[in-house]
Structure 1
Amino acid sequence: MNRIITALAFTLLSLTAGISQTLTQTVRGEIKDKESGFQLPGVIVVLKGDTTGKINNATDENGNFTLSNVPVGRRTFIMSYTGYKTWVSTDVIVVSGKETFLNIEMEEESMKLEEVKVVAETKGVFNDMSSVSTKLFSIEETERYPGARNDPARMASNFAGVQGSNDSRNDIVVRGNSPSGILWRLEEIDIPNPNHFAIAGSAGGPVSIINNKYLANSEFFTGAFPSFYGNAMGGVFDLKMRNGNNQKHERTAQFGILGTELGLEGPINKAKGSSYMINYRYSTLDYLQGLHIKVGTDAVPRYQDMGFRFNFPTKKCGTFSFSGIGGISAISIILDTVTKKPEELYGDKTRNQYFKTNMGVAILNHVISLNEKTTLKTSVAFSSQWINVDHYLILRDSTFHTVGLPHILSGTFSESKITFTSFIKRKINARNSFKTGFYVNQFMVDLTDSVKVNSIYDNTASVIDAKPWKVRINTKATFLLAQPYFNYTYKFGKGFTMNTGVYGQWLSLNNAVSVEPRAGLKYSINEKNVLSIGYGMHSQMQPTYIYFMLPDSIHMDGLTVANTSGVQANKNLGFNKSQHFVMGYDLFPAKYLRIKVEAYYQQLWNIPVYSVPSSVSLINRGASFSRFFPVYD
């Protein structure tokens, strides 16, 4: 008995000792100059609160650093470098099963060293090329906000001045602007709506294709954006993808209500620093339905998506990367087989509805430091969005049995785009820097949309089938959108930073042109108080299908007549226009507390309205899952 007790006590002590061991992980990263993009060697990186004095390192000649034996949990890292503002990365989540990688851009101090008395800590809340209405967010923030579901758009709905539509979709209204006024940018490329079950012309959806597992720290703008953003009036998501681990192969798997995920990443060539990263997700609800597990509705959304990035740095030719995201989705709401009044989550209860969407973008980037002060980046991308919808009217008899399923709505919207973009970013000195470049986009659209117009007296399938289709859209077209820009930043010293720039936009479809000035001024009174003002003129083209609609009636010689000749009356619509005026104040009363107040004024014009008097315009149509194809006559 004594032997058994002794053995049991020894086992418990061993387990306690094992549990008490601190779990650690490796944290690595890359540090660059914010203005020039040049890697910074010799930056000191330390773990805040480290009592051992051993968890610190300096970046190598390529700006890379490695910290070993970092305890897991939420950690804060401090980066310091002579002549630069100290950078503090807070709330970095370190986990035991996966290495953490940090991408840091440090800002050079504009004052001479002998003038510096106190160096303020930069906590990632400001972008010096943007004076107002900017939010830098980390990946952890997409997990921290209530209801964010790892989705940048749902996270943003928690910000002041941003309102979500409803819980079924992630469309957001920024300062009263239309949800379609949001620009999504990924790796310097403007991309189509990155959501499953996307509606033509919208910028949101029920489930985001974007997965925060492959994102790096990114930015969100709510007004008066810098001159390198255009064709948007509401807001801008500027998303960055991280590189895969170039030193260690890692595999991750996750099972959640939104999807079952598998992630792969690791080095391609350790010596050269090349890496790969692939993340795939499949709809969990569809998987559960396949196992005959009830999920609350027979209309189960089916979707899958993936993101990838391959990164190839070279010694003399810069860095090449190939990145992309994509997703496919479908939902079928079949109600003709039920024998009692259905209770479905979505859709019209008098129709069988079939809705499919595909979205994808592939991006080839090349970035090279021409010298310590100048960076050139060039990108070529192909993106595509495809939407298909079919509706069948359910005709029933007095016993609620189906007696006919005539086809009453059919539409396919296909829009592809080839993008070529390039920019030069140069830091002339500590006070002067600029960024200039251009975008050229070639759109290729194939749009069809037809509907059967029937009355309540058409109660047999043969009568409805015999009716002609009313064609609302039927076109194939190719056109260009060109977008040059220039942005200049000047730091006066003593806390003043000025941003000025100009953005241009030309649409070959109707030769619409817009030239838009942008300006901003930021004054850091001290490390706790910041004042800012900003102005921007902004424009946005219409959703592409709007240009090719065939309205029922048109205006001729002051009269409204039937459109019997198939005139595309919207083809000459110009850009929506807006002016943004913003004043802001930031207060940092405590170490981890920030209070931000902004006042804004917007002036909108050139907004299309119905030719027949109506209270409806294209200023803000809102968002709804059932709004498959909105029609504007």
Structure 2
Amino acid sequence: MQIISLKTATSATAICFSTVVFAQQNHSVSGTVKDKKNGELLIGVTVKVAEDPGISVISNDYGFYSLSLPKGNYHLIISNPGFKDFQQTVSVEDDTKQDLLLDAGESEDRMATIDEVVVSGIKKDRNLTSAQMGTETVSIKNIEKLPVLFGERDVMKTIQLLPGIKSNGEGNSGFSVRGGATDQNLILLDEATVYNASHLLGFFSTFNSDALKDASIIKGNSPAQYGGRLSSVLDVKMKDGNNKAYNVNGGIGIISSRLSVEGPIQKEKSSFIVSGRRTYADLFLKATDDFKDNKLYFYDLNLKANYQVNENNRLYLSGYFGRDVLGLGDTFASNWGNTTATLRWNSIISSKLFSNTSLIYSNYNYDFSVSSNKNTFGLSSKIEDWNLKQDFTWFAGNKHSVKFGLQSVYHIITPSSASGTSVSSYPRNPRYSWENAVYINDDFKAAEKLTINYGLRLSLFSVLGGDTYNLYEQGVLAGSEFLEKGKLGKTYVNAEPRITANYRLNEFSSIKGGYARNTQNLHLLSNSGSGNPTDQWIGTSYTVKPEIADQISFGYSRNFNNNNYELNAEVYYKSMQNQIDYKNGAQIAFDTAADVESELLFGKGRAYGLELIAKKKSGKLTGWISYTLSKTERKIDGINDDQWYNARIDKTHDLAVVATYQLNPKWSFSGLFVYSTGNAVTFPTGKYVLNEQSILQYSSRNADRMPAYHRMDLNATYEPQGNSRFRGSWSFGVYNIYGRENAYSIAFKDNPDNPGTFRAVQTSLFRWVPNITYNFKF
């Protein structure tokens, strides 16, 4: 009841204020922007007034827009990449509702792929006008043209080709952004947090592109509606489903296939989409006597439905279910997966005020077991969230677009719990916590050439009862605190201000600057560079403090040749507090009896760098070149003699070259080349023998490097002329065309040819990986 009352009071206040300020002069022109062909609501569409080009707005995440205009007749210019620009005449005598329909057209839909780059802005000069920094939007439609591992188009693999975003390893979907660890990225699917966004140990991501409508990545300077992570936000939205006609599309590849069905439930009023994907390597294993009992597959399922209650209210229900299953007969089994569900209520409260209320569920869990000679060992863990969000968008005139709201999340984290005959059973109690936040953010067009985006987020994290919390100082037990279930423990409060500004120097260039503070209360403990399903999530506690990052950044953008070429450069410096690392000699393998917090040390970090990207956005040849020069370090008492040392994710150089060439309407070719400095690692400097066992000796933390990584991929796409109902295409590609044996890991073993010494043994995953995929749609 308190939430409903707060929503009602806030809505009434905003309506009254907007009425007093603006009703005397202007009237509202508002509505939703949709795809004429399938009824999908369109995000980020530019609506401009022809009679006054200085007046323009961008449709929000749910396709809603609002303008304030005096009485009169106007021509609205509506534009969005991949659609035909058109003008809508509107007569303003009073507040006016005007829905807008964008049309791609059959021929334009085919040819739009020639004129778009895979990563594009909202419009061609959006990089010169938007105050938002470090943001890229991924075109789902064109991802399929890029060469990828096993022929699976992938949003997460695509963003790793952008500056400041670094891959965590060969075939891995994990990534780091501006010196942040993998867990410092907030990954959202229809507002639900995805805690492990990878399949098959990272060779695939959880995102089936057939089910997606939009994806954007924000590198640190996120608006105030986002919070809970230090480094980035990857915001992925699923399709709503075609509300005009039924469609089926899918693809058949070498090791996986996918199928999507969408259509109206009630024509032009409600719709659905169901999209599934599965690998079938296990089917080939069953054909052999030696491996017929082994398991190796994943599946995922995306579901979404929406219902338009009336012209101002719409309900959405979406869900994701995914699971990985690995097994070697009766000796080894591992499975992990995500479940998310989102129930949303969109409401147009007035011509200027838009509301979105969401109830969100997220669950990630894993189970691991080993059996040998009648001995068994099992490991399991889970993180579960219940999340309530209330967001408002207030179009307070043509110069202000204000977002404000609140969020409340109830976390249940079950730490890694061991069981079995080979070890003592150590069931762990779930740990409960309550995370809350309120925020306000304004996108303000301060002057003709100056745009400012500023906001404030206030976050609160409370430790809840149900377990005993130990207090450690430098890894040494200093006390404990028992909280009864339902009791409120320590609460951490943090204010998170943020501001970015864009000043347009002239028609072709602009400069930007920004500052943001972010805090994080959920932490992933990992002892590997690439990440494993059994990495453990923990929450802020009496010992573990909230991580805090302060980032400043400056940028310069310039467009050439009528905005068809684009150059963007940004520099940044990030200072981080309460960073977490394992102490030297930490016992973390199967020692779940000990409190993992006893193996942790805390300190500070810093990251700084230069990011460059040059794009060619039109013509038969499109693509981009991105380069990052960066440094990431940690300084933690008790590690490396209390001196600065390289973070494991530190890479000095990172380069990506991406190109797509449209030969004709049927054939297109693409290629990419990537190069990066190897990750920082700790190699042994010597060894000694104790009780006939060889023991390696180490010195400085992360003072060595893996070998440099580079590869080239090529792809060809053939799209024969289809009929009005059926369209098919073939994709042919080769991953790692020149067969580079990149290092996945390096192990050190006794050297049989020279007793008393050891040797380095490199493991490489892929040399040449061909792929053939057939895609269809009808």
TM-score, length-normalised on structure 1? Answer: 0.69
Q: 1:469 aligns with which of 424, 441, 456?
A: 424
Deviations 1:157-200 (A, max 9, x none): 111122111123211121221111110122233333233357xx
Aligned-partner residue type, residue 380 of structure 1 = L
Q: 2:450 aligns with which of 496, 502, 515?
A: 496
Distance 2:342 2:498 in 1: 28
Structure 2 vs 1, CA of residues 187 and 269 (structure 1 numbering), >3 Å: closer, same or farther?
same
Distance 1:614 1:543 in 2: 19
Distance 2:453 2:80 in 1: 34
Q: Secondary structure at the match of 2:156?
A: helix
TM-fit CA distance, 1:516: 1.0
Aligned-partner residue type, residue 193 of structure 1 = N
Structure 2 vs 1, CA of residues 179 and 406 (structure 1 numbering), >3 Å: closer, same or farther?
same
Structure 2 vs 1, CA of residues 569 and 153 (structure 1 numbering), >3 Å: closer, same or farther?
closer
1:170 aligned to 2:173?
yes
Give the corresponding residue for 2:588.
Answer: none
Give the corresponding residue for 1:22.
Answer: none
Distance 2:408 2:220 in 1: 24
TM-fit CA distance, 1:69: 4.5
Answer yes or no: is the 8 Å Cα contact 1:244–1:277 preserved in 2. Answer: yes
Give the corresponding residue for 1:282.
Answer: 278
Aligned-partner residue type, residue 326 of structure 1 = F
Deviations 1:473-509 (A, max 9, x none): 6112332111221111211222211111111221211
**Can you give the 5+ residue segments of structure 2 that lack an aligned partner in the other structure?**
1-35, 46-56, 67-73, 90-96, 464-489, 527-538, 584-599, 602-637, 650-678, 680-742, 746-778
Aligned-partner residue type, residue 570 of structure 2 = E
Q: Secondary structure at the match of 1:606?
A: strand
Distance 1:303 1:535 in 2: 41
Deviations 1:345-395 (A, max 9, x none): xxxxxxx432111211010111111122111110001111111112345xx
Q: How does 1:12-411 map to 2 (within 5 A)?
A: 30=41, 34=58, 38=64, 61-66=98-103, 68-70=105-107, 73-75=110-112, 90=116, 122=124, 125=127, 128=130, 131-147=132-148, 149-196=152-199, 205-257=202-254, 259-270=256-267, 272-291=268-287, 301-333=296-328, 352-392=331-371, 404=373, 406-407=375-376, 409-411=377-379
Q: Secondary structure at the match of 1:73?
A: helix
Answer yes or no: is the 8 Å Cα contact 2:38–2:243 preserved in 1. Answer: no
TM-fit CA distance, 1:625: 10
Structure 2 vs 1, CA of residues 212 and 411 (structure 1 numbering), >3 Å: closer, same or farther?
same
Distance 2:337 2:221 in 1: 32
Answer yes or no: is the 8 Å Cα contact 2:319–2:342 preserved in 1. Answer: yes
Q: How does 1:564-579 map to 2 (within 5 A)?
A: 571-579=542-550
Shifted more, 281-290 versus 488-497: the winner is 281-290
Give the corresponding residue for 1:485.
Answer: 439
Deviations 1:283-340 (A, max 9, x none): 1323433455999x99652111011111112324511111121201111145x9xxxx
TM-fit CA distance, 1:217: 2.3
Aligned-partner residue type, residue 34 of structure 1 = I
Answer yes or no: is the 8 Å Cα contact 1:374–1:427 preserved in 2. Answer: yes
Aligned-partner residue type, residue 265 of structure 2 = I
Aligned-partner residue type, residue 599 of structure 1 = V
Shifted more, 325-334 versus 276-285: the winner is 325-334
Give the corresponding residue for 1:507.
Answer: 461
Q: Secondary structure at the match of 2:580?
A: coil
Structure 2 vs 1, CA of residues 316 and 447 (structure 1 numbering), >3 Å: closer, same or farther?
same
Aligned-partner residue type, residue 608 of structure 1 = I
Structure 2 vs 1, CA of residues 256 and 58 (structure 1 numbering), >3 Å: closer, same or farther?
farther
TM-fit CA distance, 1:136: 1.5
TM-fit CA distance, 1:131: 2.3
Q: Secondary structure at the match of 1:228?
A: coil
Distance 1:306 1:224 in 2: 32
Give the corresponding residue for 1:456.
Answer: none
Q: Secondary structure at the match of 2:310?
A: coil
Answer yes or no: is the 8 Å Cα contact 1:539–1:575 preserved in 2. Answer: yes
Give the corresponding residue for 1:444.
Answer: 412
Distance 1:524 1:594 in 2: 15
Structure 2 vs 1, CA of residues 289 and 238 (structure 1 numbering), >3 Å: closer, same or farther?
same
TM-fit CA distance, 1:75: 1.4
1:524 aligned to 2:478?
no
TM-fit CA distance, 1:444: 2.1
Answer yes or no: is the 8 Å Cα contact 2:405–2:440 preserved in 1. Answer: yes
TM-fit CA distance, 1:282: 1.3
Q: Secondary structure at the match of 1:180?
A: helix
Structure 2 vs 1, CA of residues 410 and 76 (structure 1 numbering), >3 Å: closer, same or farther?
closer
TM-fit CA distance, 1:596: 1.1
Deviations 1:536-589 (A, max 9, x none): 11111133789xxxxxxxxxxxxxxxxxxxxx9964311111111110111112
Distance 2:349 2:37 in 1: 32
Q: Secondary structure at the match of 1:74?
A: helix
Distance 2:545 2:82 in 1: 57
Q: Secondary structure at the match of 2:429?
A: strand
TM-fit CA distance, 1:532: 0.6
Shifted more, 428-437 versus 28-37: the winner is 28-37
Aligned-partner residue type, residue 575 of structure 2 = Q
Distance 2:232 2:575 in 1: 15
TM-fit CA distance, 1:598: 0.6
Answer yes or no: is the 8 Å Cα contact 1:277–1:308 preserved in 2. Answer: yes
1:594 aligned to 2:566?
yes
Distance 2:400 2:346 in 1: 21
Q: 1:614 aligns with which of 626, 629, 639?
A: 639
Answer yes or no: is the 8 Å Cα contact 1:320–1:367 preserved in 2. Answer: yes
Give the corresponding residue for 1:414.
Answer: 382
Answer yes or no: is the 8 Å Cα contact 1:504–1:515 preserved in 2. Answer: yes
Answer yes or no: is the 8 Å Cα contact 1:178–1:620 preserved in 2. Answer: no
Distance 1:71 1:259 in 2: 31
Give the corresponding residue for 1:101.
Answer: none
TM-align CA RMSD: 3.9
Structure 2 vs 1, CA of residues 253 and 185 (structure 1 numbering), >3 Å: closer, same or farther?
closer
Shifted more, 224-233 versus 32-41: the winner is 32-41
Aligned-partner residue type, residue 523 of structure 1 = Y
TM-fit CA distance, 1:249: 0.7
Answer yes or no: is the 8 Å Cα contact 1:39–1:62 preserved in 2. Answer: no
Distance 2:98 2:290 in 1: 57
Structure 2 vs 1, CA of residues 46 and 294 (structure 1 numbering), >3 Å: closer, same or farther?
farther
Give the corresponding residue for 2:513.
Answer: 533
TM-score, length-normalised on structure 2? Answer: 0.57
**Can you give the 5+ residue segments of structure 1 that lack an aligned partner in the other structure?**
1-24, 78-88, 94-103, 107-120, 199-204, 337-351, 394-403, 453-464, 547-567, 627-633
Aligned-partner residue type, residue 64 of structure 2 = F
Q: Secondary structure at the match of 1:599?
A: strand
Structure 2 vs 1, CA of residues 506 and 47 (structure 1 numbering), >3 Å: closer, same or farther?
closer
Distance 1:279 1:211 in 2: 8
Structure 2 vs 1, CA of residues 294 and 227 (structure 1 numbering), >3 Å: closer, same or farther?
farther
Answer yes or no: is the 8 Å Cα contact 1:423–1:435 preserved in 2. Answer: yes
